Amino acid sequence: MAIVLPISVALRGGDDTPPVDPGTTVITATEFAYSPTRIAVDGEATFLLRNEGAVYHDLRIEGIDDFSLEALPDEDATGSVELEAGTYVLFCSVPGHRDAGMVAELQVS
């Protein structure tokens, strides 16, 4: 079961990038990878998806249908989700991106 909190999207530009709240996990998307590729969090996770790529990317959690972050190039998207303990796969659902390596492992304690 997952509890999803509101999601926001922000444009970034130059050095005006707003600070990230402590406790937020920043995941950078490029062609075709996430960084970091291994993430550990407690039950509630807040993510900031930072798209530094040239195309649209998203962030999904395998098995959790009601969580998705979406960002165009140079955009950030944030959202929170409460997850049960376990190991999850994060992935980009854009056709071909997951197969190209846009995956990460999420460990929830």
In-domain check, residue 10: no
Compute the Cα dihedral for 58, 60, 66, 67 and give only its sign. Answer: negative
What's the domain count of the chain?
1
Report the alpha-carbon distance of residue 76 to residue 30 in Å, rounded.
13
Domain span including residue 27: 23-108
> pLDDT tens, 80-104?
999 999 999 999 999 999 999 999 9
In-domain check, residue 9: no
- What's the average model confidence in pLDDT over 14-21? 62
Q: What is the pLDDT of residue 63?
A: 97
In-domain check, residue 8: no
Q: What is the pTM for the complete model shown?
A: 0.83
